[in-house]
Amino acid sequence: MPARPTFDLVVAANRLPVDQVARPDGDIEWQRSPGGLVTAMESVMHDQAGAWVGWAGEAGAAPAPFEDSGIYLRPVALSAEEVRDYYEGFSNDTLWPIYHDVIVPASFHREWWSAYEKVNRRFAEAVVEVAAPGARVWIQDYQLQLVPALVREARPDVRIGWFDHIPFPPVGLFAQLPWRLQLLEGLLGADFLGFQRRADAQNFVRACRELLNAKTQRDTVTVPGSDRRVRASAVPISVDFAGLDELARRPETIARSREIRTSLGDPKVLMLGVDRLDYTKGIQHRLKAYHELLDEHRIGPPEVTLVQVATPSRERVEAYRTLRDEIEQTVGRINGEFGQIGAPAVHYLHHSHPREEMAALYLAADVMLVTPLRDGMNLVAKEYVACRYDLGGALVLSEFAGAWHELHQTFACNPHDIEGLKQTILRAITTPDKEKRRMMRALRRRVADHDVQRWAARFLGALDIAPERPSLDPSTGHHHGDEPDMRSNEARGMTQ
Ligand code: ADQ
Tell me if 7-234 shares its fold with 242-449. yes
The per-residue pLDDT for 1 is 55
Name the residue of 163, 320, 379 whose CB sits within 8 Å of the most ligand 1 atoms, as the mutation to test its pocket: 379
Tell whether the model's pLDDT for residue 493 goes beyond 70: no
Of all protein residues, the one whose alpha carbon is nearest to atom 22 of ligand 1 is 352
What is the whole-number distance in angstroms between the Cα of residue 380 and the centre of ligand 1? 6
- Strand 394-398 and strand 411-413: the pairing is parallel
What is the whole-number distance in angstroms between the Cα of residue 115 and the centre of ligand 1? 26
Top pLDDT among 479 and 99 is at: 99
What is the whole-number distance in angstroms between the Cα of residue 276 and the centre of ligand 1? 6
What is the whole-number distance in angstroms between the Cα of residue 227 and the centre of ligand 1? 39
Write down the CATH number for the domain with range 7-234.
Answer: 3.40.50.2000
The per-residue pLDDT for 486 is 37
The Cα–Cα gap between 380 and 369 comes to 10
The Cα–Cα gap between 389 and 189 comes to 43
pLDDT tens digit string along 340-367? 999 999 999 999 899 999 999 999 999 9
Ramachandran quadrant class, 297 (left: phi over 0; alpha: psi -120 to 50; beta: rest): left
Tell whether the model's pLDDT for residue 49 goes beyond 70: yes
Tell whether the model's pLDDT for residue 257 goes beyond 60: yes
Q: Which amino acid, 216?
A: T
Please, which pLDDT band fits residue 484 given cuts at 50, 70 and 90?
A: very low
What is the whole-number distance in angstroms between the Cα of residue 190 and the centre of ligand 1? 26
Please, which pLDDT band fits residue 40 given cuts at 50, 70 and 90?
A: confident
Q: Please state the atom number of ligand 1 nearest to the C-alpha of residue 375.
A: 35
What is the whole-number distance in angstroms between the Cα of residue 472 and the centre of ligand 1? 33
How many CA atoms are closer than 13 Å to the CA of 273, on its beta-carbon side?
Answer: 30
What is the whole-number distance in angstroms between the Cα of residue 353 and the centre of ligand 1? 12
Tell whether the model's pLDDT for residue 488 goes beyond 60: no
Name the residue of 39, 238, 239, 276 whose CB sits within 8 Å of the most ligand 1 atoms, as the mutation to test its pocket: 276
Tell whether the model's pLDDT for residue 319 goes beyond 70: yes
Phi, psi of 54 (to 5 degrees): -175, 170
What is the whole-number distance in angstroms between the Cα of residue 344 and the centre of ligand 1? 26
Tell whether the model's pLDDT for residue 479 goes beyond 60: no
The Cα–Cα gap between 305 and 339 comes to 10
Strand order through the sheet with 131-140: 66-68, 71-76, 50-55, 7-15, 131-140, 159-163, 192-195, 229-234, 220-222, 215-217
Of all protein residues, the one whose alpha carbon is nearest to atom 16 of ligand 1 is 380
The per-residue pLDDT for 310 is 94
Q: Please state the atom number of ligand 1 nearest to the C-alpha of residue 309.
A: 23
Name the residue of 377, 395, 450 whose CB sits within 8 Å of the most ligand 1 atoms, as the mutation to test its pocket: 377
User: Are 16 and 55 contacting, i.e. CB atoms less than 8 angstroms apart?
Assistant: yes
Question: What average pLDDT score do residues 219-245 get?
Answer: 96
Tell whether the model's pLDDT for residue 471 goes beyond 90: no
Tell whether the model's pLDDT for residue 496 goes beyond 50: no
User: Are 367 and 396 contacting, i.e. CB atoms less than 8 angstroms apart?
Assistant: yes
Strand order through the sheet with 346-349: 346-349, 304-311, 269-276, 367-370, 394-398, 411-413
What is the whole-number distance in angstroms between the Cα of residue 352 and the centre of ligand 1? 11
The Cα–Cα gap between 126 and 340 comes to 57
The per-residue pLDDT for 2 is 63
User: Are 463 and 191 contacting, i.e. CB atoms less than 8 angstroms apart?
Assistant: yes
DSSP assignment of 278-334 equals -GGG-HHHHHHHHHHHHHTTSS-TTTEEEEEEEE---TTSHHHHHHHHHHHHHHHHH
Tell whether the model's pLDDT for residue 54 goes beyond 50: yes
What is the whole-number distance in angstroms between the Cα of residue 442 and the centre of ligand 1? 23
Tell whether the model's pLDDT for residue 431 goes beyond 90: yes
Q: What percent of the chain has pLDDT over 90?
A: 84
CA angle 464, 455, 397 (to 5 degrees): 145
The Cα–Cα gap between 29 and 19 comes to 8
Please, which pLDDT band fits residue 480 given cuts at 50, 70 and 90?
A: very low
Tell whether the model's pLDDT for residue 117 goes beyond 60: yes
The per-residue pLDDT for 287 is 98
pLDDT tens digit string along 159-215? 999 999 999 999 999 999 999 999 999 999 999 999 999 999 999 999 999 999 999
The Cα–Cα gap between 205 and 129 comes to 31
pLDDT tens digit string along 67-97? 988 899 999 999 999 999 999 999 999 999 9
Indicate the average pLDDT of the chain.
92
Q: Please state the atom number of ligand 1 nearest to the C-alpha of residue 380.
A: 7
The per-residue pLDDT for 472 is 43
What is the whole-number distance in angstroms between the Cα of residue 216 and the centre of ligand 1? 33
What is the whole-number distance in angstroms between the Cα of residue 381 and the centre of ligand 1? 10
Of all protein residues, the one whose alpha carbon is nearest to atom 37 of ligand 1 is 165
What is the whole-number distance in angstroms between the Cα of residue 177 and the centre of ligand 1? 26
The per-residue pLDDT for 34 is 66
Alpha-carbon torsion angle 91, 97, 101, 102, nearest 10: -150
The Cα–Cα gap between 318 and 192 comes to 35
Of all protein residues, the one whose alpha carbon is nearest to atom 27 of ligand 1 is 352
User: Are 41 and 52 contacting, i.e. CB atoms less than 8 angstroms apart?
Assistant: yes
464-469 LR contacts (CB < 8 Å, sep 24+): 464/136, 464/159, 466/191, 466/192, 466/230, 466/231, 467/191, 467/192, 467/220, 467/228, 467/229, 467/230, 467/231
The Cα–Cα gap between 209 and 166 comes to 21
Name the residue of 378, 395, 450 whose CB sits within 8 Å of the most ligand 1 atoms, as the mutation to test its pocket: 378
Of all protein residues, the one whose alpha carbon is nearest to atom 12 of ligand 1 is 276
The per-residue pLDDT for 37 is 80
Q: Please state the atom number of ligand 1 nearest to the C-alpha of residue 402.
A: 35
Given the candidates 3.40.50.300, 1.10.10.10, 3.30.365.10, 3.40.50.2000, the CATH classification of the domain at 242-449 is 3.40.50.2000
Domain spans of the chain, in order of start: 7-234, 242-449
Q: Please state the atom number of ligand 1 nearest to the C-alpha of residue 313.
A: 3
First vs last C-alpha separation in the chain: 65
Residues with CB under 6 A from ligand 1: 165-166, 237, 274, 276, 309, 311, 352-353, 358, 375-380, 383
Q: Please state the atom number of ligand 1 nearest to the C-alpha of residue 349.
A: 23
The CB density around residue 431, as the number of other CB atoms within 10 Å, is: 13
Of all protein residues, the one whose alpha carbon is nearest to atom 28 of ligand 1 is 165
Q: Which amino acid, 59?
A: A
